[in-house]
Homo-oligomer: A and B are copies of this chain.
Amino acid sequence: MYGAGDVRVKTVADPILKEPTDAIVRVVRACVCGSDLHPYHSMPYSEGGNPMGHELIGVVEETGAAVSSVKKGDFVVAPFAFSDNTCAFCLEGFQTSCVHGGWYGNTEFGGLQAEMARIPQADGSLVVVPGVDEASELLPSLLALSDVYLTGYHAAHMGRVETGKTVTVIGDGAVGLSAVLASKRLGAERIILMGRHRARTDLGVDFGATDVVAERGEEGIAKVMELTGGEGTHIVLEAVGLMPAYEQAFGIVRPGGVISRVGVPQYEKAPVGFGSLFGKNATLTGGPAPVRAYLEQAIRQVLNGEIAPGRVFDRTVTIDDVPAAYAAMDAREALKVMIAF
């Protein structure tokens, strides 16, 4: 990406092993993330451009001398952040805060919307998927585990979704729909999806939403309050990241309830005082999903056919059409675009 709205496909040198803990992965599927649209709207022009993408599934091509848990030929999922999976924070389940971890989508670590990728901390980051090859019908659902589904799952997990709870999901993007699916899996009794794009909310209903609220702002708040008998919702999963979504969240959360955010906040300051969170003992939680913490379990669920989170992909392109993929997602013509190699 060279600036707002300016995505180009460039041929660059193949990645190489830089550290003994690296692996090189040949990418089988990658995709465009809703969070990639933030710089697509606002990135200042850059002469050198910025490598994009942080989601992939693929085949290990080469491993550094210190790598022992994956080998050439393994089919793997890469979480959207890399981590050693052994530091204190990783052991507590917060791999996105790993002391040896980091993010893709920059000149140091490259982007994963690419044919080949260097994966730092390969032992801690990559998880092998047994018995799957490039022809598998499960590829979309496995790719969804790299970020989008497990980001939705993280929202539900941090929000402490459990049997009998009423959950409202704000946002009908791919993460919001994933949060619906995860909430259903965790036993939510009622799942209210706030979104206005019918094709998306229809998929949300398939994933387990019991109610759809198309209204926004004060009207949306009033509608959710009406649906919950004036009490509000135990848990709000905020999958947008913009201030109006945050305001809706504290408007509908029940006293003692939880707002769990996974939409990357496009604001730094927000209301948290007596009139918003404090007065009703509302909890605010969430952050970048430690996908690695949830990955083995989710891979099993995909392989068993228990979940099909790959349904969020509604378009597939080749690498040459990635600029069009950004444009389609930005125009909301596509929910989430997969890149096949």
Contacts and interface: CB of A to CB of B under 8 A. Distances in A.
Interface of A: 88-89, 92-94, 96-97, 158, 231, 254-256, 261, 264-265, 267-288, 290
A272 B274 contact: no
A93 B256 contact: yes
A71 to B, nearest CB: 31
B281 A284 contact: no
A279 B286 CA distance: 9
Contact of A268 (B88, B94, B275): B275
B273 A269 contact: yes
Contacts of A284: 272, 277, 283-285
A281 B158 contact: yes
Contacts of A271: 268-269
A267 B269 CA distance: 12
Contacts of A264: 274, 278
A273 B267 CA distance: 6
A268 B274 CA distance: 7
Contact of A276 (B89, B268, B281): B268
A46 B138 CA distance: 70
A281 B231 contact: no
25 contacts: A89-B255, A92-B255, A92-B256, A93-B256, A94-B256, A97-B256, A97-B281, A158-B281, A261-B278, A264-B278, A265-B272, A265-B273, A268-B272, A268-B273, A269-B270, A270-B272, A277-B284, A278-B288, A279-B287, A280-B287, A281-B288, A281-B290, A283-B283, A283-B284, A284-B284
